[in-house]
Chains A and B, each alone.
Chain A
């Protein structure tokens, strides 16, 4: 499995509201709400931690789900968020995201 790194886009503004994360893109003001699992992944998106590690440590341990299923859902999620322009996804560690 090739490593995947994720970083919050530097133009994303965001805040946690209870179990959700609200993200708003400063470039086009579009607004997103991330549910509990997506919010966990979002908060771990520092550009340095591989997605597989995020899933193993933060999703599998907390929710009743196997790694393969959780990882495949996480891959789908991060691609969606990348498509919306609020997350950067790369095969290499990322600098310059909001994890700086």
Chain B
């Protein structure tokens, strides 16, 4: 994070502003990715007018960064109406998509609307492996075509590479492919439980040896000990993470959570204004009072400076204030030191 962005983030925290909001517009999807964390849910998605009202409320609360996602966001027929309204409200918009439905006309609209970045999910540089993950033959080719169309129109693209067992060693090649395509590369090396807590998909996580490799590659994870954000003297450093402080997640059905990976329900924008939820939700106020010093095991863990403990994962594992075993495993892979929860 740049110094200026860090200062602005601190200010947003001091003012209690939901600076970053992730809004899922649908959970429907045209692919069937084997690791997907979403749960099937029936029920009406927020309609265009409801989304518009939420966007106005977010702008009034001070949100600047808006991530539009899904499911597959291109399945929303009113997506461009939503984006147009969001741009009129001066949001900085990023879009997450699998890219398979992004044809030339849609790309032209994204460029015209000054979408800041499109994040495209990729699982391998090899079509057959990628298509096996998405369970949709031909999806790799369609995604590649979309990335080329986006970059040729000057839209910034980030390849979000979810690494899993089927393609455990592929990150070097996918990183190279992203560079060839003129896209940035982001590795996501952890498969997380489904939002209903079902941990079956965790078997797709890569073997420990690969984690060790990844977490010791400074190009992927940055320097090890120095300048850890946790050691910086700042108000943010006292907090488990930005979720619920300067960031939040809104589901297609209007439910509000601290983060997409933190299924602690705070309220619903159909029943209350976003601002009321953000300022008054009892669950949120309780969560906001938590400091790193309250984390029973982690506060004394010698790895806390290198650990990216996710409170959402800890919550899904059953204890909001406890460690997240997935993060313990990553910290172990990174340092070779075994944190206490793994010794049990």
Contact = CB atoms under 8 A, between A and B. Distances in A.
In this complex, the member of B11, B12, B62, B116 whose beta carbon has the largest number of chain A beta carbons within 10 angstroms is B116
A17 B12 contact: yes
On chain A, which size bracket covers the interface? 10 to 19
A98 interface: yes
Contact of B4 (A15, A31, A100): A31
A90 interface: no
A100 B15 CA distance: 30
Interface stretch (B89-97, B142-150, B208-216, B326-334): B89-97
Contact of B15 (A10, A18, A29, A31): A18
Interface in B9-28: 11-12, 15, 17
A56 interface: no
A24 interface: yes
Interface residues of B, number: 22
B114 A15 contact: no
B2 A11 contact: no
Label chain A's interface by main secondary structure.
strand
Contacts of B91: 13
Given A13-B116, A31-B4, A98-B87, 18 more contacts: A10-B114, A12-B90, A13-B64, A13-B90, A13-B91, A14-B64, A15-B64, A16-B62, A18-B11, A22-B8, A22-B64, A24-B116, A26-B115, A27-B114, A29-B117, A31-B8, A33-B8, A98-B90
10 contacts: A10-B87, A12-B90, A13-B92, A15-B64, A17-B12, A17-B62, A26-B93, A26-B116, A31-B5, A33-B8
Interface of B: 2, 4-5, 8, 11-12, 15, 17, 59, 62-64, 87-88, 90-93, 114-117
Return the 10 tightest CB-CB contacts between A and B, nearest first.
A13-B92, A26-B116, A11-B114, A15-B64, A26-B114, A14-B90, A24-B92, A31-B4, A13-B90, A22-B8
Interface of A: 10-18, 22, 24, 26-27, 29, 31, 33, 98, 100
